[in-house]
């Protein structure tokens, strides 16, 4: 089993309140869930109205499939004109990684 995690740090466009931030982030999270076989959540920068940290996770028996899904998510977010992708950090855990019991 392979587990992949992707952390996307976003700078939001013309957002002036936390309410506007929710209106900007919610469709991104929903569309990632709809388009790809991933779990998605807003995972940080909750108190900053122009920044969002989105976490994406994928699980598969094939490490290549996990990488492909995370790559596609990153490309899709990076192509959005309403946000700027500041950074993307990825981790992939596979059967050879040490597991905690």
Quick one: fold of 2-93?
Answer: Alpha-Beta Plaits (3.30.70)
Give 23-74 pLDDT, tens digit per residue.
Answer: 899 999 999 999 998 999 998 888 888 999 999 999 999 899 999 999 999 9
pLDDT of the residue at 53: 95
Q: In the structure encoding, which two tokens stand for residue 85, read together?
A: 């992708």
pLDDT of the residue at 93: 92
Q: Please determine, for residue 100, whether its predicted confidence score (pLDDT) is greater than 60.
A: no
Q: Where residue 13 falls among pLDDT bands split at 50, 70, 90? A: confident
- The dihedrals phi and psi of 9, each to the nearest 5 degrees, come to -100, 115
pLDDT of the residue at 98: 64
Residues in the chain: 101
Q: Do residues 3 and 55 lie in contact, with contact meaning Cβ atoms separated by under 8 Å?
A: no
Question: Which residues lie closer than 8 Å to 18 by C-beta, 6 or more apart?
Answer: 47, 49
Q: Spell out the domain ranges in the chain.
A: 2-93
pLDDT of the residue at 95: 85
């Amino acid at each position: 089993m392979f587990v992949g995690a992707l952390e996307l740090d976003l700078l939001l466009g013309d957002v002036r309140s936390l309410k506007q931030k929710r209106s900007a982030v919610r469709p991104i999270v929903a569309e990632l869930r709809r388009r790809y076989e991933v779990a998605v959540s807003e995972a940080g920068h909750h108190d900053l109205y122009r920044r969002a940290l989105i976490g994406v996770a994928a699980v598969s028996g094939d490490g290549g499939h996990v990488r492909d899904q995370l790559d596609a998510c990153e490309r899709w977010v990076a192509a959005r004109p309403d946000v700027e992708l500041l950074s993307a950090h990825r981790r992939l855990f596979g059967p050879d990684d040490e597991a905690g019991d």
